[in-house]
Structure 1
Amino acid sequence: MKRILIVAPAWVGDAIMAQPMYARLKQRHPDSQIDVLAPAWTRPLHARMAEIAEAIDAPFGHGELKLRERWKLARQLKARGYDQVIVLPNSIKSALVPAFAGIPKRTGWVGEMRYGLLNDARKLDPIALPKMVQRFYALAEDNTPLSATIPNPELTINNADRDAALAKLGLSTTQPMIAICPGAEYGPAKRWPAAHAAALATQLIADGAQVWLFGSGKDSEICAEIVKLEPNVVNLAGKTSLAEAIDLLSLAHVAVCNDSGLMHVAAALGRPLVAVFGSSSPGFTPPLTSKAKIVTLALECSPCFARVCPLGHMDCLNKLTPDYVMKALKELTKES
């Protein structure tokens, strides 16, 4: 049995975009065991990926070197006898533990000059592989060009866990539920304004739907703004674990999301999705599903990829009024 370790990304969206690569590895090596090394908080994501056998916690904060801790972890991994490691992040730090562990085949993109740490270092052609999902998927191959269509990411749901989350929060599914995910951890230049989200929610509620707001505690402020403008929404921001948020999001009749981790979760759950793009580009990290409508104004100044609008006006999102999103929602409803 081939034992493969994946050094996985720390961002929700990136972690989900890696799932098709795991499926490809399983296709190529059906009897393999695939484990991931990732931050502990990503466990709910990997627990919902059928290909992953075990998630191993990486006890390092963002940017932390912690050489002693990395060496100790490497000794533990060495004892597991991995045949190959695939390092998805491009940093030097992410390649240290596999090198310390002496894993025979260490695969990844060259990144930050990692030739000494990776012995199967690939040189990325960003024109041939413009999307992140392609860059991950290519690492499952033996340094050969991609020839097949990449499948969309998939997350699996346990109905009993989902029912438990509904009961815990006192939620009902008697009315169609529309999810709004108004956060974006990267920065405000990716967040659709709260006033727009509230106006959309008011329309949807008037049409007979219920609207649930999804997000972490970091999204509490923007969700509170939405609630102030439209008190009839159900605000779940900071009230669910990531596991519960994933399970509940699977119930959405349709989801409205910024370019965020929850956008990729909704896509991987197969939910119809309206994705709102401002400072970022749907060409690099689009929602990977056939059930998505992308809404963007494609202004001359965007995508700028900035966390905060460098021009101070954020026209790419402020001028993207609720009418644009409602139009996309109606188109999705007709198609589904």
Structure 2
Amino acid sequence: MKRLVDNLDHVEAKRICVIKPSALGDVIQATVVLDALRSRFPDASISWVIKDSLAPLLSHHSQIDEVIPFRTQQGWRMVIPLFRQLRRAKFDLTLDLQGLFRTAVMTFATGAPHRVGLQTAREGASLTYNCLVNNTGWDQSAVGRLWQVAAALGDHSRKPPEFPAAGLDLTWARQQLASLSGPLLAISPGTRWTSKQWPAERFAEIARDTVARFGGSVVILGADNECELSEVIERAVRQTGGNALNLTGATGIPQLGAVLAMSHCLLSNDSGAMHLAAAVGTPFVSVFTSTSPQISGPIGAEGRMIAASTSCAGCYQRRCPLVSSQPPCFGQVDSRLVTAAVGEYLQRAPNTASRRAS
């Protein structure tokens, strides 16, 4: 059995490797360990292993000395060079915050004398660790587990994640949003799991009703494979005479973060965009179906998380095991609550409009 520890007081380190390659929201939440690492090891060099497409998320973080990106699309061809790079770095401490086979192999490759993981590690990952941080099991929220790691390093502040302003492309965002007026509602309708994909028609309905009631404009965000979703929302807003800007597929992380920072509210599923909005300080309204707000949602951020009212909600299945089409939990999200929450934040827009000009 691996050594279970409440603190890492026994660790001394001058070179530290954090392994958390993905996904967007998970990496954002994992950054809460950085202040703890810097406080505990003020003179250490901190490196972070991350998926190459997410590297801009960390490239301006003041507590990170080196970002180590790897290209997932090249598969195992990248493994040997990456392993050599990790081994040559001579890390003293490696934190595997992902806890999967892939990251366990990376952890082992570092050769660090101190290799630390979470109790939620799967796929045999814990076999490569020296110790596990206590109270990091599935009974904790995602960010709660990471706060436990920070606490083991001596930081009990439980501060929520923040995204550095230096990492935002505000100039680009201002240019894109220049033609939009009034309260700005950002909508990110996509997500990687089909079981979390609340129908685009529901987002469109809320966007249409919100613009009709409060005026203002809508900016639609997403990956380039989510164009069909965004077009449903764009058409609905334009048909009522509202202003809609479709930036689907047009934003990297610096641009996405900047647009969110200049918006008055984000409407989304449980997604990376939700966590990024929380990290830049923008209120969010997010729909939860197959995941749980208590486990996966941002903690300590301004927002509303509205969950489906079915017994199977929060099942954490990527695809609904009950049906092949629309999961039953989709129909058990009260759209009226979602619309009211969005309206509450947009009504405050005159008091927060200065954010869009900053």
Q: Which of 133, 158, 162 is the equivalent residue of 1:150?
A: 158
Distance change (3 Å), C-alpha of 1:198 and 1:116? closer
Q: Does structure 2 conserve the Cα–Cα contact (< 8 Å) formed by 1:279 and 1:305?
A: yes
Aligned: 1:132 with 2:145: no
Report the Cα distance in structure 2 between the residues aligned to 1:211 and 1:143, rounded to whole angstroms. 43
Q: Describe the SS at the equivalent of 1:248.
A: helix
* Deviates further, 36-45 or 100-109: 100-109
Distance change (3 Å), C-alpha of 1:121 and 1:170? closer
Q: Which residue of 1 aligns with 2:185?
A: 178
Shift, 1:267, TM fit: 0.7
Shift, 1:301, TM fit: 2.5
Q: Which of 26, 38, 46 is the equivalent residue of 2:38?
A: 26
Q: Describe the SS at the equivalent of 2:248.
A: coil
Give the counterpart letter for 1:316 in structure 2. Answer: C
Q: Which of 88, 92, 107 is the equivalent residue of 1:98?
A: 107
Q: Which of 178, 189, 211 is the equivalent residue of 1:205?
A: 211
Q: Does structure 1 conserve the Cα–Cα contact (< 8 Å) formed by 2:168 and 2:257?
A: no
Q: Does structure 1 conserve the Cα–Cα contact (< 8 Å) formed by 2:57 and 2:167?
A: no
Matched pairs, number? 328
Residue deviations 1:282-314 (CA, integer Å, cap 9, x gap): 121112333111112321221222333333353
Alignment of 1:158-197 (within 5 A): 158=166, 161-167=169-175, 169=176, 171-172=178-179, 174-187=181-194, 189-197=195-203
- Looking at secondary structure, tell me which structure has more helix per residue: 2
RMSD: 2.7
Shift, 1:170, TM fit: 6.0
Q: Does structure 1 conserve the Cα–Cα contact (< 8 Å) formed by 2:210 and 2:343?
A: no
Distance change (3 Å), C-alpha of 1:211 and 1:140? same
Q: Does structure 2 conserve the Cα–Cα contact (< 8 Å) formed by 1:8 and 1:87?
A: yes
Aligned: 1:70 with 2:90: no
Q: Describe the SS at the equivalent of 2:296.
A: coil
Shift, 1:82, TM fit: 2.1
Shift, 1:160, TM fit: 7.8
Residue deviations 1:314-335 (CA, integer Å, cap 9, x gap): 3422343532212122444578
Give the counterpart letter for 1:191 in structure 2. Answer: Q
Shift, 1:15, TM fit: 0.5
Residue deviations 1:32-80 (CA, integer Å, cap 9, x gap): 3221111111112112533222211123349x5x3x7434322223333
Distance change (3 Å), C-alpha of 1:271 and 1:221? same
Q: Does structure 1 conserve the Cα–Cα contact (< 8 Å) formed by 2:184 and 2:264?
A: yes
Report the Cα distance in structure 2 between the residues aligned to 1:142 and 1:324, rounded to whole angstroms. 39
Q: Describe the SS at the equivalent of 2:268.
A: strand
Report the Cα distance in structure 1 between the residues aligned to 2:306 and 2:29, rounded to whole angstroms. 21
Distance change (3 Å), C-alpha of 1:319 and 1:60? closer
Residue deviations 1:94-142 (CA, integer Å, cap 9, x gap): 1223323322211113623345422234466536x51111223333454
Q: Does structure 1 conserve the Cα–Cα contact (< 8 Å) formed by 2:136 and 2:148?
A: no
Q: Which residue of 1 aligns with 2:9?
A: none
Alignment of 1:6-25 (within 5 A): 6-25=18-37
* Deviates further, 101-110 or 269-278: 101-110
Q: Which of 336, 341, 345 is the equivalent residue of 1:323?
A: 336
Report the Cα distance in structure 2 between the residues aligned to 1:235 and 1:185, rounded to whole angstroms. 19
Q: Which residue of 1 aligns with 2:70?
A: 58
